[in-house]
Structure 1
């Protein structure tokens, strides 16, 4: 029979004693309950759990004898569940003394054993969390999908009337006059550049966007003309973009 480590916390918390003294334990819970009742100084089912002596299985098997109601297989399974529980692993800390079957101190837990117990505890808790998450996702998947609610076409009132008060008419919206056309800044008309003025070194105006900019002709290769702006930038433009300075 395989026992899940993630389920050991519940296993130890709720032991079930056999119904009679002669009845054989039917499951791991009953075996653990038997061990707690027979060896209370060694086994516990609450926060008083203590780490067990190495080789405790042989001691218990010898104490029970061949006529025991508990088989060695059941005893191994019960000890595996007991020592894998979260409380037991949490109690296995460096410097803590293990106990024998009579509750007497045995060997002291070293750093390596404590680290191993802490690692097993973290892994067990992670597996339990993953199982809970998987169950929740499975439950959500089984829930029926609700149809989206169509938005209401009714408009909500702008203001809530106070009980007993008179309704107040909303002030009419101010009429915004139509925007007047923007009056363009009056600028002098640009004079077309005569072909005779297309010479290297002549000052001209080059129209970039809406604003003409002063420039100096650097090269003429009609219909393209290379000019240098006042900022020092050299650009190539068309002849029809140049005007008299």
Structure 2
């Protein structure tokens, strides 16, 4: 696969919080948003997904969500109002002056995509990955799980889901205080609103991933969606090349 230079940038979001994003490739813009505890490097760059999309003639724009990666990690609860992540996404679109673009994300990035759509974003095509219908309509579904992880660090039983999540947190250098704040930004999207996302969509999920509910139910609920299952569960699907290939093929269509 071709090597693409990576550009790194920062900008001030709607409330002045400094956010980072990376880009690779040239052509049609697509914004891809990473998952909770992760960052653009881990989710999109390290395992070749961004390069696969760039190879299809795309300008791949990958923000680090507030509280994650190279973006600011404020500890003030006021920095984490409901829908802050969607507002950050709108701010990035405006900062870049994008008019015709595609939009998607993995896990929390998929939920952020939904919240952007629910609050006025107008991409041509959308990507929901690592996400099921319940993950959008019941945003609080996993909040307790993550609060438990972050407030009991070092106490989880080895090999348990919480222990594995804490291990991943260590690899990404996550800030537990900021990440607890991020949970407060979560907002559910009503099922009838999801059913109104009337643009071509792909739902890409690990075949063994039900962390955010049913991907098949999400694909069925959307008016113009294709379901693609790739190997792995919620954690492991991200490292599989099939994930990026499925997204790249969809965006090239």
Assess same fold via TM > 0.5. Answer: no
TM-score by length of 1: 0.23
**Hey, which of these two has a bigger chunk of helix by percent?**
2
**Quick check: which has more Rg, 1 or 2?**
1
Q: Report 1 or 2 for greater relative contact order, CA contacts < 8 Å, sequence distance ≥ 6.
A: 2
